[in-house]
Amino acid sequence: MAAPSPGPREVLAPSPEAGCRAVTSSRRGLLWRLRDKQSRLGLFEISPGHELHGMTCMMQAGLWAATQVSMDHPPTGPPSQDDFSEVLTQVHEGFELGTLAGPAFAWLRRSLGLAEDDYQAALGPGGPYLQFLSTSKSKASFFLSHDQRFFLKTQGRREVQTLLAHLPRYVQHLQRHPHSLLARLLGVHSLRVDRGKKTYFIVMQSVFYPAGRISERYDIKGCEVSRWVDPAPEGSPIVLVLKDLNFQGKTIKLGPQRNWFLRQMELDTTFLRELNVLDYSLLMAFQCLHEDERGLGSSLIFRTGRSVQGAQSPEESGVQNRRLLPDAPNALHILDGPEQRYFLGVVDLATVYGLRKRLEHLWKTLRYPGRTFSTVSPARYARRLCQWVEEHTE
């Protein structure tokens, strides 16, 4: 007799020993705050009194408990079909947190070399989440974990359904191409307060980590309509992510790494085209290398076996477009040129070219004759973004 499908499960959640009360500003010492002040320049703590403080406290307690489940029941092998469809609801005091495809994401995190206890500590109630002012036109809320390693974003139900539908192929793509530029999606959850409407959110690795020395940030779509952001005044603490038109006249100087980058962009955008996805962005950030950091390419360590899983034979390595990873945190999103370090990642992978987007394309064609805009067919979108990368790199 076949084992029954796990389906939705509802359980009473364990609680972290230190709740959100333990992370308020009044409880933290002066030295702790001074230490983090510089690295958090332009970010805002979601402390008591902030309109989102209650919500983020529930997210922290919920994620702590959700991660505890995967620690108590670690994956024993690649995810099954049931793992991709599992929904676990944990009941807390005053709210419920749902974990979608939890076993599949636990396996993915392990394959990326992420320790579950580190993941739990970063996302749980050990420090307040951080907020930044986004230049995105969406109504989503954006957060960073207190150590800035993980990025959280609220999502609509339709976007979540798309991400979950594509998840098996996404996991397969990352296994086939372990150095992919696609953002590493680490979890999908729902938050429901007092039996109200569910709020969905995702967790992913932050492309812009470690952020201490980053000087510029960009969100690139390869088009021009609505792709300008007024820069922050000089000396302003606000961190803005600029857009395509802000990048005019600039170049990404990768040196010998350029061919790898162009090829990986081609592989990743081909995959997204096959999923009928558009409107994703190439995130970029720049950091000047110190004199003693330049020219270290010959001493880099081929870390794939330790940091990510995937086929190991030399023949498969060539097909997978592997590269030498820098011996640095977040190495999969870091590419070192001769003089600058670049943080690179493709994000926002949940917009499908359906009827609504096709109608939007027709309207924008009439509204912006002769101009380029984001709502085009997935094939054209992928081709145009790769062309932008080729024209702006050397």
Residue 377 confidence (pLDDT) above 60:
yes
pLDDT digits (tens, 9 = 90+) for 324-337: 998 889 999 999 99
Task: Output the six-digit token pair for 203.
Answer: 């967790």
Q: Give the pLDDT of residue 325.
A: 92
Q: Give the pLDDT of residue 135.
A: 66
Average pLDDT over residues 261-270: 98
Residue 19 confidence (pLDDT) above 90:
no
Q: Give the pLDDT of residue 14.
A: 78
Residue 299 confidence (pLDDT) above 50:
no
Residue 369 confidence (pLDDT) above 50:
yes
Residue 32 confidence (pLDDT) above 50:
no
Average pLDDT over residues 310-318: 50
CA atoms lying within 13 Å on the CB side of residue 2: 4
User: Per-residue confidence at 307, pLDDT binned at 50, 70, 90?
Assistant: very low
Lowest mean per-residue pLDDT among 36-50, 135-149, 267-281: 36-50
Residue 8's identity, in one-letter code, is P
Lowest mean per-residue pLDDT among 77-86, 296-305, 306-315, 349-358: 296-305
Average pLDDT over residues 100-116: 97
Q: Give the pLDDT of residue 303.
A: 40
| % the chain with pLDDT above 90 | 73
Lowest mean per-residue pLDDT among 10-14, 17-21, 50-54, 370-374: 17-21
Q: Give the pLDDT of residue 39.
A: 45
What predicted TM-score, i.e. pTM, was given to this entire model?
0.87
Exposed/middle/buried for residue 239 (C-beta within 10 Å: 0-12, 13-18, 19+): middle
pLDDT digits (tens, 9 = 90+) for 209-234: 998 899 999 999 999 999 999 988 88
Residue 29 confidence (pLDDT) above 60:
no
Residues forming beta bridges with residue 200, ordered by sequence position: 155, 190
Residue 35 confidence (pLDDT) above 80:
no
Lowest mean per-residue pLDDT among 52-66, 137-151, 277-291, 332-346: 137-151
- List alpha helices for the chain, DSSP H: 30-37, 53-72, 81-85, 102-111, 116-123, 157-176, 258-274, 304-307, 314-319, 355-367, 378-391
Asked if residues 266 and 249 have their Cβ atoms less than 8 Å apart, the reply is no
Residue 20 confidence (pLDDT) above 80:
no
6 or 162, greater pLDDT: 162
Which region, left, alpha or beta, applies to residue 321 given φ > 0 means left and ψ of -120 to 50 means alpha? left
30 Cα distance to chain centroid? 31
The Cα-based distances of 252 to 168, 240, 284, 298, 372 in angstroms read 33, 19, 10, 21, 22
Residue 6 confidence (pLDDT) above 60:
no
| Average pLDDT for the chain | 87
User: Per-residue confidence at 7, pLDDT binned at 50, 70, 90?
Assistant: low
Q: What's the rounded Cα separation, in Å, for the pair 193 and 61?
A: 13
